[in-house]
Structure 1
Amino acid sequence: MSAVWRALSIQALNNGRCISLRHAVFNRESTMSTDQEKPTESSITVKLSTHLKPEHLEVVNESFMHNVPRGSETHFKVVVVSKDFEGIPLIKRHRIINELLRDELAGGVHALSIIAKSPSQWETGGKAVEPSPACRGGFGK
């Protein structure tokens, strides 16, 4: 599957809104990955894009930063910018995303970092996301 096809199919799925798929198209070794190889990542992308109609969406598999087997889908960061978040407190935004991804969280997803913003917050914040900290071994080491 080509990166262009993947980006176009996700964009079409989201009614033309811009969706960034950093790390969703290429795995750590910069080889092409398919939906079958990354089913959890693909499921997260589809659910968030379908239900929240985001203006910007990033689904980042951060599992490689942790002590898990190569190719794992256990640690994710999502950046969701949606008009649906206008006037909604941050805790409620997180609850919405957690509810949408309840099956993934009940399955193999161990950690989910959520950045949920309205379009105005995204513009004001400079459209930047800080990198996640390095893994501390799970016990705060």
Structure 2
Amino acid sequence: MTRLDQLQSRLTATLSPVVCELHDDSAAHAGHAGAASGGGHYNLKIISHQFEGLNRISRHRLVYDAIGDMMHTEVHALAIVALAPSEIPT
């Protein structure tokens, strides 16, 4: 299982998202000092009912909790857009 698959799996299992778009942007950061540790750079757009009524910081905490120890070893940078379904225009 790839690192991207592991992240996706943890996010899906923990947050049951309606949408979970996770992109690996590590190649764009090659040579960056943080990339030397082997941690990747990722962009995440996640929509989950669990985010209803929560502020941005609380939503980000839920994401960080979902990926757990990977945040300190496998992930160097994670850009997060976390929304509740009610925030998506119809």
Query: Same fold, TM exceeding 0.5?
Result: yes
- Partner deviation per Cα, 1:67-107 (whole Å, 9 max, x = no partner): 258xx761011111001111111110001111111211111
Aligned residue in 2 for 1:59: 22
Whichever residue aligns with residue 84 of structure 1, its letter is Q
Higher helix share: 2
| Correspondence for 2:70 among 104, 111, 114 | 104
Q: TM-score, normalised by structure 1?
A: 0.55
Q: Note the 1:1-141 alignment, pairs <5 A.
A: 35=1, 39-68=2-31, 74-121=40-87, 123-124=88-89
Choose 52-61 or 94-103, whichever is displaced more.
94-103
Task: Write the distance in 2 (CA, Å) between the matches of 1:120 and 1:73.
Answer: 33
Aligned length: 85
Identity of aligned residues (%): 28
Task: Write the distance in 1 (CA, Å) between the matches of 2:39 and 2:76.
Answer: 9
Unaligned runs of 5+ in 2: none
Task: Write the distance in 2 (CA, Å) between the matches of 1:84 and 1:42.
Answer: 21
**Cα root mean square deviation, aligned:** 1.8
Whichever residue aligns with residue 25 of structure 2, its letter is E
Whichever residue aligns with residue 53 of structure 2, its letter is G
Q: Which has the larger radius of gyration?
A: 1
Greater relative CO (CA pairs within 8 A, separation 6+): 2
Task: Write the distance in 2 (CA, Å) between the matches of 1:45 and 1:73.
Answer: 16
